[in-house]
Amino acid sequence: MNHLHLLIPDLFPPQDIAAEVCAGLHLPALERVLARSTASASPIGTLEDWFCATFGANGVAPVRAAADGLAAGEGYWLCADPVSLQLQRAQMLLLPDVSPGEEEAAALCAKLNAHFDGMGMQFFAPHPRRWYVRLEAEPQLATTPLQQVVWCDAKFHQPQGADALHWQRIATEVQMLLYAYPANQAREARGELLINSLWFWGGGYTAPLQRPFDVCGGSSELAEAFARVAAIPRASSLQGVLGAKGERGLWVDETLSAAQQRGDYFAWREELQRIEQQCQFLLRALRTGRLQHLTLEVLQDKAAQRFELTPASAWKLWRPAHSLARYAV
């Protein structure tokens, strides 16, 4: 493998708490990678936009639907993922991973399809946590990816555009149907989170995907979906990516994002130690010639950055390493 693209959303901490959450961290390999690379601003800030731009996709929904086994060749597709909205003080917090059973998801989708029959939309639940709606006509709608809204106030991330009010009404009808459905009442009796809303996002039409990488791996479900549809082999480890045939590999690590969204900076620090070990491995690969080029892309909403490292630049010992807090956004 000559060129590894390492994608790590939310590697850098928020500026207002950077000194506190980075105190005592020992990350010499990661700090060397950052210090000795050629840095530049990245034009893409979200993981979803990055995948669509890199693979030539029209939207996340048709790709993910195809990866989940749906025939996504016709119509306009939106992700319609089940979530739980909880009112806490003045916030409407969005909680993901409500994890309905397969039969429960199918029953809820059937209820939705019966209610919206004749309105040019059809719901699908090929996976309990990943639902979709296929539309006959494209809506004028700008949406926010689910992963940017989890554990946040959903009121500030509502759809925008000419059809926003129409889709707010649809969302309200969906919420009323889900709340009144017996399966949801049974969840409440068991002390489980209610599935009381769907989050619509990632809309687009199906388009042939490009194949920018020869192998792909990591902790990202989205990366797995794009790789499956683009027929890119998967590797279960970073070592497996470097040992695979081909010129370009992709490794995506979303674990820091998940911890940061929950506000769990203890877990965030633990995940950094694992990334530190990966950076040690990659520096050795560069120095021994096993890897010729490393691109580290740090996706952040406010300031995404790209770091390019080669075997020659890895030996630039005169470049001082800085604490991770120095890169806070």
Domain annotation for the chain: domains and CATH numbers: 3-57+210-327 (3.40.720.10), 73-204 (no CATH)
Residue range 167-193: mean pLDDT, rounded: 86
Work out the number of other CB atoms within 10 angstroms of the CB of residue 230: 19
* 116 contact partners, CB below 8 Å, separation of at least 6: 123, 170, 173
Work out the number of other CB atoms within 10 angstroms of the CB of residue 56: 13
**Is residue 96 over pLDDT 90?**
no
Q: pLDDT category, 329, cuts 50, 70, 90?
A: confident
Q: What is the structure's pLDDT at 263?
A: 85
End-to-end CA distance of the chain: 32
* pLDDT tens track for 259-281: 888 889 999 999 999 999 999 99
Q: What is the structure's pLDDT at 327?
A: 87
Q: Taking all residues of the chain, what is their mean pLDDT, rounded to a whole number?
A: 92
For the chain, give the percent of residues with pLDDT over 70.
99
Place of tokens 């040019």: 120
Residue range 170-189: mean pLDDT, rounded: 85
311 by Cβ neighbours in 10 Å (0-12 / 13-18 / 19+) ranks as: middle
Q: pLDDT category, 97, cuts 50, 70, 90?
A: confident
Query: Of all helices (H) and strands (E), which one includes residue 49?
Result: helix 47-55
Strands 234-235 and 248-252: unpaired
244 by Cβ neighbours in 10 Å (0-12 / 13-18 / 19+) ranks as: middle
**Is residue 316 over pLDDT 80?**
no
Q: How far is CA 223 from CA 51, 67, 161, 246, 248, in A?
A: 8, 11, 28, 18, 15
**Is residue 184 over pLDDT 80?**
no
Work out the number of other CB atoms within 10 angstroms of the CB of residue 111: 18
Q: What predicted TM-score, i.e. pTM, was given to this entire model?
A: 0.93
**Is residue 87 over pLDDT 90?**
no
Work out the number of other CB atoms within 10 angstroms of the CB of residue 240: 16
* pLDDT tens track for 151-179: 899 999 999 999 999 999 999 999 999 88
Query: Of all helices (H) and strands (E), which one includes residue 234?
Result: strand 234-235
Q: What is the structure's pLDDT at 302?
A: 67
Q: How far apart are CA 230 and CA 237, in angstroms?
A: 20
**Is residue 194 over pLDDT 90?**
no
CA 8-227-206 angle, 5° bins: 110
* pLDDT tens track for 9-63: 999 998 889 899 999 999 999 999 999 999 999 877 789 999 999 999 999 999 9
- Residue 305 · residue 318 · CB < 8 Å: no
* pLDDT tens track for 205-237: 999 999 999 999 998 999 999 999 999 999 999
Q: How far apart are CA 293 and CA 199, in angstroms?
A: 39
Q: What is the structure's pLDDT at 188?
A: 78
Place of tokens 């694992």: 274
